[in-house]
Amino acid sequence: MTGTAVVVHADPELLAQAVAARLLVRLIDAQAERGEAAVVLTGGRIAAAVYRAVRELPARDAVDWSRVDVWWGDERFLPAGDPDRNETQARKALLDALPLAPERVHPMPASDGPDGPDPEAAAVRYAATLAAAAGPDTAMLPYFDVLMLGVGEDGHVASLFPEHPAGDESRPVSAVRGSPKPPPVRITLTRPALNTAEEVWLIASGTDKARAVGMALHGAGAGQVPAAGVAGVRRTRWLLDRAAAAEVTPSP
């Protein structure tokens, strides 16, 4: 049964540090339970701050990084190494400093990759990579211990935007054209794929996120506010700073 928790921290710095510590604990616990761990990364300012905080924590050495699978929830469909790619951001902030097994790091294809500038073919390729990593008892997706999502000002998560057709996609990975936020072409895990993770963490900071967070937590539909449509199989955590939580009404 899914449980939802809202955790509010004083400011963005404390939020990033707390999420980083929570992530390390989750990976350590997963490895104790399963012998390995899998995390799905996101992009954005707060994500980069979390990654930098993980890098600085001494407890990072308690994780066996050679037994961690790294996936991405979405990607800007740009050339490899472009500074606006989520992969580039994560590598610079954290991944290049970790002893990860290269074959267990699974970036989404770039626009200069094997499929060239065809995001639909690139989405199919990433879906095949996911399926190849899935266990024999699963249909199309590997096990995700924790999936992190930033929440946009409009309530978007990954590259699922309000009222965009990708929000209704049933396949695990979709190309996104005409994104209202640049760049216009992206690749994303779809809502059904996001909702297979054991834990989903929605992370937001700043007053510009408050309205979307409040709507998502108080009954908005997934078409209007995509963040309202994602949940972990076992647990959903909203990890916020005070500014982002300004329109959240506490439970009685």
pLDDT tens profile 222-241:
999 999 999 999 999 999 99
pTM of the full structure: 0.95
Greatest Cα-to-Cα distance within the chain, rounded to the nearest angstrom: 53
CA angle 178, 180, 183 (to 5 degrees): 70
**Contacts of residue 49, Cβ cutoff 8 Å, sequence gap at least 6:** 12, 13, 15, 16
CATH topology of domain 6-193+205-221: Rossmann fold (3.40.50)
C-alpha separations of 157 from 28, 47, 60, 149, 200 in Å: 26, 13, 27, 6, 11
Mean residue pLDDT of the chain comes to 95
Confidence of residue 62 (pLDDT cuts 50, 70, 90): very high
pLDDT of residue 251: 63
Evaluate if residue 1 carries a pLDDT over 90.
no
Return the C-alpha torsion angle 1, 64, 73, 78, nearest 10.
Answer: 180
pLDDT of residue 91: 98
Q: What is the mean pLDDT of residues 85-104?
A: 98
Two tokens, residue 199: 């834990």
Two tokens, residue 148: 């992190």
Candidates 194, 228, 238, 181; CA nearest to 6 is: 238
Q: What is the mean pLDDT of residues 175-195?
A: 97
Using DSSP, state whether 174 is helix, strand or coil. strand
Two tokens, residue 231: 């949940």
Identify whether the C-beta of residue 106 lies closer than 8 Å to the C-beta of residue 71. yes
Evaluate if residue 195 carries a pLDDT over 50.
yes
